[in-house]
Amino acid sequence: MSKPAPGIGKGVSALFGEIPDADQLRKPIGYVNKEIAGPQSRTTNSDVVRIPVEMIEPNPYQPRLSFDRESLEELAGSIRSLGLIQPITVRRCDGSHYQIISGERRFRACSLNGMKMIPAYVRDANDQGMLEMAIVENIQRENLDPIEEALSYRRLIEECHLTQEEMALRVGKKRASIANSLRLLNLPAKPQHDLKVGLLSVGHAKVILGVDDPELQEELSDRVIAKGWSVRMLEDAVRRILAEGVAAPKQKREAPSLPESYSKLAESLSRYVSGDNVSLRYSGSGKGTLTVRFSSDKEVSELLETLERQN
């Protein structure tokens, strides 16, 4: 169970008592029954397959210049605990290689964990109509878990450029039902995992989404699992929390946009060191932090020599 924010977890414990470690009831998602992609395999666009990591290559047009190492390690820790909840999407380059379309951050986190196989959706080039039909067919199956269904809707939006109204016509469901399904993807990793494996119901998830704080959402998910709360019991708990003021929503501040000169600086440094070893944070008031991570004195010397040659 993740550490609650100061004042929040303490207030919840005061209301409902201490909670056993719910993580003991969780098992990682392994996609153990899915097909393993290999050089000769052919799969549909809607199935999740497991692809050897050496067959996957990054997208050369990836717009992100750097990946924050600390956040990558946090994601890697979540994947070690829960498994990869949202597979990456790749396309076939040839018979033995796949290129990442979306999910490079998840791919890097899996690589940090030393994973040999990566769950992925596979797309062929120029297959827009086939992809749409495959995803719609996938949604109409009865054995999809709530997160798989929500991810399918998001793929129709992002990859097939459908609106919620168009999706409703394709799959024969109400637009409000699709919107509620997509909201499930706003939950933190643990509640998403719990929905996927059946430890939480969609009814539980809707109640949890009524609380703004992600750490409190995880805390409530833990309590449902460990204490066997029904949806009605969870609703009563949330009402008590809100009445006590324990779950006062945090004020979210939008991150300031990075000035062009700062982006150029990060891009320049990324030419000399691995991209995920350079991170730049900007406060919007002219202050910030530039971080270049290294693993040896030799790396520092080589970087210094390169910069001196450029000058």
> Which tens digits make up the pLDDT trace of 113-156?
999 999 998 876 555 666 777 677 777 765 678 998 898 888 88
Name which of 84, 104, 87 is nearest 154 in CA terms. 87
Whether the pLDDT of residue 48 is over 60: the answer is yes
CB 284 within 8 A of CB 298: no
> Residue 205 — very low, low, confident or very high, per pLDDT cuts 50/70/90?
very high
Q: Is 104 a catalytic residue?
A: yes
Among the listed residues 35, 104, 235, 302, the single catalytic one is: 104
Tens digits of per-residue pLDDT, 256-277? 666 767 777 776 776 666 556 6
Whether the pLDDT of residue 61 is over 70: the answer is no
Name which of 194, 244, 198 is nearest 219 in CA terms. 194
Specify the pairing of strand 98-102 against strand 88-92: antiparallel
CB 155 within 8 A of CB 135: yes
Using DSSP, state whether 139 is helix, strand or coil: helix
At CB < 8 A and 24+ separation, what contacts does 196-199 make?
Answer: 196/29, 196/85, 196/145, 196/146, 196/147, 196/148, 197/26, 197/27, 197/29, 197/145, 198/145, 199/25, 199/26, 199/224, 199/225
Using DSSP, state whether 122 is helix, strand or coil: strand
CB 48 within 8 A of CB 121: yes
d(CA 205, CA 227): 16
Whether the pLDDT of residue 162 is over 60: the answer is yes
CB 7 within 8 A of CB 92: no
Tens digits of per-residue pLDDT, 234-259? 999 999 888 876 554 455 555 566 67
DSSP state of 198: T
**What is the structure's pLDDT at 4?**
45
Whether the pLDDT of residue 294 is over 60: the answer is yes
d(CA 220, CA 208): 7
pTM beyond 0.85: the answer is no
Whether the pLDDT of residue 223 is over 80: the answer is yes
Whether the pLDDT of residue 182 is over 90: the answer is yes
Mean pLDDT of the chain: 78
CB 133 within 8 A of CB 98: no
